[in-house]
Amino acid sequence: MSTRPKKKAHPSKVSRKKTRSRQRKTAVPASVASIRLRLYSYIFLAVILVFGLTIGGYACWYPTGHTPSDTSDTPSGVAQNGNNRETETQTNSLPSGTMPKISSSSDASTTNLDSTGNSNGNPVSGASEEPPSAKRLVWYYVPGKNHQQPFIPQSARELMAKYNGIYLGSPDAKRIYLTFDAGYEMGYTATILDTLAQYQVKAAFFVTKPFITSHPELVKRMVAEGHVVGSHTATHPDLTTISEEKIDKELETTEAAFLAATRQPLARLVRPPNGTYSEKVLATLHSLNYRPVFWSMAFRDWDVKNQPTPAKIFQDVTGNIHPGAVILLHNVSSSNAQALPNIIVELKKQGYEFAPLSDFLQ
Residues assigned a catalytic role? 181, 330
Q: Which residue type, as a one-letter code, is found at position 334?
A: S
Cα separation, 340 vs 310, whole angstroms: 9
> Is 296 in contact with 325 (CB distance < 8 Å)?
yes
Query: How far out from the chain centre does Cα 176 lie?
Result: 17
Distance CA 280, CA 202 (A): 32
Rounded distance, CA 231 to CA 290, Å? Answer: 9
Phi and psi angles of residue 215, each rounded to the nearest 5 degrees, phi first: -135, 60
- State the angle between helix axes of 310-320 and 334-349 in degrees (0 to 180), rounded to the nearest 10: 40
Nearest to 147 by CA among 169, 166, 174: 174
